[in-house]
Amino acid sequence: MAKEKKKDDKDVKLKAKVKKLRAKVKALTSDVSTAAPAKAKAKSVSVSPLAPAHFPELPAIAGVEFASAAAGVKYAGRTDVMLARIAPGASIAGVFTTSSTRAACVLDCQSKLAMRVPKDAGAAIIVNSGNANAFTGKNGQKAVDMVTGAVAKALDLPISRVFSSSTGVIGEPLPFERIVLAVDGLAQRLSGDGIEDAARAIMTTDTYPKGASAVIEGEGGPITIAGIAKGSGMIAPNMATMLVYIFTDAKITPARLQKMLSRQVDDTFNAITVDSDTSTSDALIMAATGQSPASEIHDLRSQVAKDFEAALRTVMMDLAHQVVRDGEGATKFVEVRVTRAASAEDAHKVAMAVANSPLVKTAIAGEDANWGRVVAAVGKSGAKADRDKLTISFGDMVLAEKGWRAPSYSEADASAYMKGDELVIGVDLGLGRANKSVWTCDLTHRYIDINADYRS
C-alpha cells in the first residue's frame, strides 16, 4: 500500500508540473507554429525504388484510436508526433534495444512494463520524430515525464500506462514543450482510422510510411492485427532496430502476448540490417485490446494460438522487410541465405558477416558479381568453415564450390543476375544442419549523402 501511495503521489506531482508548464507555454504562444523557432523545412527525398506501390489498407482495430500533429520538434510544418489511445483492459507487451546507451524513453517503457497494471486501466503511446532524446542526461527523463504526464492528464490515464518513443538526432535536448502543447489537440482528434497518418508522423529519413496487417478466424469471430513501423538507417539486429507498433483486438494476457512477441523477434526484426549500426531508441510495442468477438487465447498450444502467432510473424516479417527496402540509399533488396552450418550461432555469424560487409554491399550496388568478397566475409565471420566444403551461389547459379570457381561459372550470367532489384546470395557451409536467412540492401553513395549532413 505504501508503494502504491508513493506512486500515486508521483503521478499527482507530475500532473501538477505539466499543468504549470502548459500555462507557461500558452503565455508565450498561441499555437505550435509560434512556439517553435523558424526552421528550414525537411529536405524532400524521392521514394525508394524498392517501396511498395502504396500504403496498405489497414483494418481498424477495435479499441485503438490515432491522431497526429506537426509540433515543430525539428522541422516547421512537418507532421512529427503521433498519439495512440488504447482501450481499458488492454494487454501491452514490448521488446527494446539492447544498446547500453538506451534513450530515456526506452528505459521508461521498460520500467513501466515491469510495473503492476492498474485494473481496467487504459493506455496510450506517444511518439515523436526529429529528436531521439538519447544521451541527454537527467533532462531526458524530465522530458519523458513531462510528455507522458501531459498525455496522462489529457486522456485521464495513470502515467504508468503512457508509453513514449523518440527518434531522430542523438544528444540534443528534446523540445518537449512543443509536444506538450500539441497534446490537447491530439486528444481531441483521436480517430479509429488515423493509422496511416500515424505511420507518416514517426518517419525520419524514411521515404515512405510502413504498414502491414493480417486477419485470422478465432473461436467465435475474426481476430485482426495491424502494425506500423519506421526505419531506414541505423538498422542492425539487437532487438528490433527501429520503432514498431502493433495492435490487435485479440483477447490474450500480457504474459502470453509477450511470449509470442519475444520469440518471433529473432527471425524477423533481428534478421535485418542496413548498415550494422544499432539505435539507442529502438522499441517494439504491441497492444491487444481484447475487443474481438473471438474467445480468449488461453492455450498457446491450441490451433487458434498457432494461427495467431503465425499471423503475427507475417506482420512482423512484412514490416521488417519494408524497413530494409527503405534502407538509406538502397536500390537492391538482398537475402543472404546460409545453409548447413555447424550450429545456429555459426549460421547467424556468417549471414550477418556477409550482409554487413561494406565490400559485398558496394559490389551489389555496382552490380558486380564479385563472389570473392562473399568468400572473404565468410572467412572473417568467426564461424567454422571449410574451404573445400563451401559453396557460394547467386540465385540458382553456383559460382564457387570445392575450393575453386565452379566449372559452370559464367561471368556474363552472374553479371546479368546482379542487375535485378531482388537478389539471393547463398552460402552453403556443408558442415551441419543449421540454416539462417537475413535481409539487407546495397550500400550506395546516397547513404553517404544522407548521413554526412544528417544533423543539418
C-alpha cell at 301: 498450444
Question: Within 168-325, where are the H helices?
Answer: 176-188, 195-201, 254-263, 303-325
**Are 76 and 304 in contact, with CB atoms under 8 Å apart?**
no
Share of the chain above pLDDT 70, in %: 86
Within its chain, how far is the Cα of 232 from the centroid?
10
Split at pLDDT 50, 70, 90, the class of 17 is low
Contacts 24+ apart (CB under 8 A), 51-57: 51/207, 51/208, 51/325, 51/326, 52/208, 52/322, 52/325, 55/196, 55/199, 55/208, 55/209, 55/211, 56/211, 56/212, 56/213
Residue 378, C-beta contacts closer than 8 angstroms, at least 6 positions apart: 350, 353, 354, 385, 390, 427, 429
- Write the CB contacts of 155 (distance below 8 Å, at least 6 apart in sequence): 85, 122, 124, 162, 187
pLDDT score of 30: 39
Mean pLDDT along residues 361-366 = 96
Looking at residue 382, its pLDDT comes to 97
Mean pLDDT for 62-88 is 96
Question: What is the C-alpha to C-alpha distance for residues 106 and 162, in angstroms, rounded to an integer?
Answer: 12
User: How would residue 26 be classed by pLDDT, with cut points 50, 70 and 90?
Assistant: very low
Which residues neighbour 322 within 8 Å (Cβ) at sequence distance 6 or greater? 52, 210, 212, 229
Q: State the cell numbers at 2.
A: 505504501
Whether 348 has a pLDDT exceeding 50, the answer reads yes
- Check whether 233 has a pLDDT greater than 90: no
List all residues 6 or more positions away from 455 whose beta carbon is below 8 Å from its beta carbon: 169
**What is the spatial distance between Cα 279 and Cα 276, in angstroms, rounded to a whole number?**
10
User: Per-residue confidence at 40, pLDDT binned at 50, 70, 90?
Assistant: very low
What local confidence, expressed as pLDDT, does residue 451 receive?
72
Q: Is the pLDDT of residue 370 over 60?
A: yes
Q: How many residues does the chain have?
A: 456
% of the chain surpassing 90 pLDDT: 77
Nearest Cα residue to 420 out of 439, 394, 456, 446 = 394
Structure confidence at residue 67 (pLDDT): 98
Active site residues per annotation: 241
| Arithmetic mean of pLDDT, 111-122 | 91
Q: Is the pLDDT of residue 455 over 60?
A: no
With cell 554487413, the residue in question is 356
Q: Contact 227/246 with Cβ under 8 angstroms?
A: yes
What is the predicted pLDDT for the residue at 119?
81
Q: How many angstroms separate the CA atoms of 46 and 58, rounded?
A: 24
> Average pLDDT over the chain, rounded to whole?
89
Q: Which helix (H) or strand (E) holds 389?
A: none
Q: How confident is the model at residue 231 (pLDDT cuts 50, 70, 90)?
A: confident
Q: pLDDT-based confidence at 439, cuts 50/70/90?
A: very high
Q: Are 164 and 126 in contact (CB under 8 A)?
A: yes
Task: Choose the weakest-confidence range: 26-30, 154-158, 229-233, 383-387.
Answer: 26-30
Across 127-153, average pLDDT? 95
Q: Span 87-100, mean pLDDT?
A: 92
pLDDT for the residue numbered 117: 86
Q: Is the pLDDT of residue 235 over 60?
A: no
CA distances from residue 363 to 272, 358, 367, 371, 440 in whole angstroms, order as listed: 19, 8, 6, 9, 13
In terms of DSSP H, where are the helices of 92-201?
104-113, 137-155, 176-188, 195-201
Would the pLDDT of 39 be above 80?
A: no
3-state SS, residue 409: coil
Whole-number pLDDT of residue 391: 98
